[in-house]
Amino acid sequence: NDFDLVIRNAHCATAADVFDADIGIKDGKIAALGQGLPAGREEIDAAGRWVLPGGIDGHCHLDQPMGDNSVMADDFLSGTRSAACGGTTTVLPFACQFKGQSLRDAVDDYHRRADGKAAIDYAFHLIVSDPTPDVLERELPELIREGYTSFKIYMTYDDLKLADREIIDVLAVARDEGAMVMVHAENIDCIAWLTERLLKAGKTAPRYHAEARPMLVEREATHRAISFAELVDVPILIVHVSGREAIEQIQWAQNNGLRIYGETCPQYLFLTADDLGLDDDHHHHGAKCICSPPPRDKGNQQVVWNGLESGVFQVFSSDHAPFRFDGPSGKKAAGPNASFDRIPNGIPGLETRLPLLFTHGVLSGRLDICQFVALTSTNVAKMYGLYPQKGSIAVGADADLTIWDTGLDRVIRNADLHHEVDYTPYEGIPVSAWPAVTFSRGSVVWRDGEYLGRAGRGEFLRCDLPQPARPKVRGDSR
């Protein structure tokens, strides 16, 4: 008979539609949607529960070598395992070029890291930190044509940041080749100046991380990045947007007809700068929540929610950057009481991204289910050239799917998660939704609390040129 698997009585949602169907799966793809499909070799009854496209995490860091003593706790096995257990079926981590390295070397290195390990499908963004003439004229165009069609650039961090002229040059390559550029927008000189003043005043605790990176630092860099994108006439995505001031810049650009996209992350909905102050016992627990840009305050959380609702943001990502709190390799790599500027930046979030947004976005009534699917899956697939293979429930698409339990009475506990990080910043936050089953190309990788994936089953994905990266056709409205 025809189907390897039939998911019965699925209450499906895509970014556009809600419908009830049986889903027939063959050779890892959705082969039929309909009522009363013939029996499959295997059958699963969704019993009217939500069945959604698997999550796509468009921003996460796995097994990325750091420039210091710190080591990421998650490699491509533990990271993709954790993702699958939280309903994510595709990840886009970074292949990060270090200065002096060729882009090709960086890509080869990360393929070795992922090969035989990933449990779900993955594609790579590049990080361009050294845009030499050879990178701009040869390597980057070649790699884009090979399916590495998005890359991130940094306006901060000494070892990654580009000068303004370099940013303009790489944006021009993106325009010529049709790639999507992700921008980390924070002004490095403002941060350096504030950091120096804080350290001189003896203000070294984790909480001062937020004071060294106030919103104006993000606002200024966001504005500058938008200006460069307008100059070069190329769309860009501003990543990990933390609050009102950066959102206002993006909104201004969008209102003026520029193709400027926005990404935000769970930390800007669920954490505040106060969480960096959990260090009264001198154990510096606040380090657990150090990320850049830093979380802001309750008012800004609300503004970020509004941006998700209104469409200022197209994508919602974890920015999973996994460092252990205890031990010598993670947050304490520079010593247990190192000043805030020497604590590795980033927090884990691959597994909790979808349950947090489903619970506090959809079940609370802030987002409808189609918005949820768009933000966490469909738009991500489109942003990075993976649609319609990924991010949809449609005949011919990969059978990357989640069946959801809702109405749960749970709280997030790190002990229940499947990453290698020894904490979650979301410990104790209630969640009433969690995937009951996650399918990766038709195979069950997570079911009823059990990880059933296999290292190396995940496939590397070459990305198409993303439609959203196309420059706007001019001459009409502007």
Which positions lie near ligand URP, rule CB under 6 A? 61, 184, 240, 291-292, 319, 321, 345-346
Q: Would you tell me how many other CB atoms lie within 10 Å of the CB of residue 474?
A: 9
Say which entry of Zn ion, ligand URP, none residue 281 contacts (CB below 5 to 8 A, set by partner kind). Answer: Zn ion
CA distance 351 to 288: 17
Q: Among ligand URP, Zn ion, none, what does residue 220 contact (CB within 5–8 Å per kind)?
A: none
Estimate to the nearest angstrom the gap between the alpha carbon of 283 and the chain centroid.
Answer: 29
Enumerate residues 6+ apart whose C-beta is below 8 A from 288.
275, 278, 325, 331, 347, 423, 425
Note whether 342 binds Zn ion by CB under 5 A: no
The entry of ligand URP, Zn ion, none near residue 97 (CB within 5 to 8 angstroms by kind) is none
Residue range at the interface with Zn ion (CB under 5 A); choices 77-85, 298-306, 315-323, 459-467: 315-323
Span of 219-227, 283-291, 337-345, 441-449 interacting with Zn ion by CB under 5 A: 283-291
User: Which one, 4 or 263, has the nearer CB to ligand URP?
Assistant: 263
Extract the tokens encoding 312. Answer: 């200022």
* Cβ atoms < 10 Å from Cβ of 404: 23
143 and 103 Cβ atoms separated by less than 8 Å: yes
Q: Which two tokens stand for residue 83?
A: 């993702």
Beta carbon of residue 205, minimum distance to Zn ion (angstroms, whole number): 13
Q: What is the three-class DSSP state of 216?
A: helix
Interface region with Zn ion, contact rule CB under 5 A, candidates 181-189, 250-258, 303-311, 408-416: 181-189
Angstrom distance (rounded) from CA 468 to CA 167: 19
Least distance in Å: CB of 156 to ligand URP? 8
39: DSSP letter: P
> H/E element holding 363?
none
DSSP character for 128? Answer: -
Closer to ligand URP by Cβ: residue 245 or 263: 263
Decide whether 205 or 393 has the Cβ nearer to ligand URP: 205
Measured from the CB atom, is 245 or 319 closer to ligand URP? Answer: 319
Q: How far is the CB of 294 from ligand URP (least distance, A)?
A: 8
3-state secondary structure of 433: coil
345 binds, among ligand URP, Zn ion, none (CB under 5 to 8 A by kind): ligand URP
274 vs 309, which CB is nearer to ligand URP? 274
**DSSP 3-state of 476:** coil
Of 240 and 457, nearer to ligand URP (C-beta) is 240
Per the structure block, which two tokens stand in for 459?
């496939």
Residue 398 is given by DSSP the state B
Contact of residue 125 among Zn ion, ligand URP, none (CB under 5-8 Å per partner type): none
Which of 283, 342, 410, 447: binder of Zn ion (CB under 5 A)? 283
Question: Of 157 and 451, which CB lies nearer to Zn ion in the complex structure?
Answer: 157
Contact call for residues 449 and 162 (beta carbons, < 8 A): no
Least separation in angstroms between residue 94's CB and ligand URP is 8
Question: Both tokens of residue 333?
Answer: 């790599």
283 binds, among Zn ion, ligand URP, none (CB under 5 to 8 A by kind): Zn ion
Q: What is the residue type of 6? A: V
Tally of CA atoms within 13 A in the half-sphere of 159 that contains its CB: 10
Among 113, 184, 353, 441, binds Zn ion (CB under 5 A): 184
Size of the site for Zn ion (CB under 5 A): 4
First-to-final CA distance of the chain: 57
Residues lying near Zn ion in the complex (CB under 5 A): 184, 281, 283, 319
